């Protein structure tokens, strides 16, 4: 398994997403860019998207 590691210390705040393929630290601005349609959702890995949807579903489900 290979991964790219990027120093994002200057891109705060961050979100931490624990997905099936490991923990990801993602700048909130990147997530907002995806929400706003400025970046394609494909910039996020499938396991990250799945985990975000799973957490959202837990928040909105009774």
Per-residue pLDDT of 10-57, as tens digits, reads 777 888 899 999 999 899 999 999 999 999 999 999 999 999 999 999
| pTM for this predicted structure | 0.75
Residue predicted with more confidence, 7 or 48: 48
State both tokens at 56.
Answer: 């959202």
Query: What number of other Cβ atoms are within 10 A of residue 62's Cβ?
Result: 2
Interatomic CA distance for residues 14 and 2, integer angstroms: 22
HEC sequence for the chain: CCCCCCCCCCCCCEEEEEECCEEEEEEHHHHHHHHCCCCCHHHCCHHHHHHHHHHHHHHHCC
For residue 35, report the phi and psi dihedrals to the nearest 5 degrees: -60, -40
Q: What is the predicted pLDDT for the residue at 19? A: 95
């Amino acid at each position: 398994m290979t991964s790219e590691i990027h120093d994002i210390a200057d891109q705060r705040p961050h979100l931490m997403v624990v997905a099936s393929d490991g923990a990801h630290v993602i700048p909130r601005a990147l997530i907002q860019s995806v929400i706003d349609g400025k970046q394609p959702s494909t910039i996020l890995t499938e396991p990250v998207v799945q985990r975000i949807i799973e957490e959202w579903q837990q928040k909105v489900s009774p």
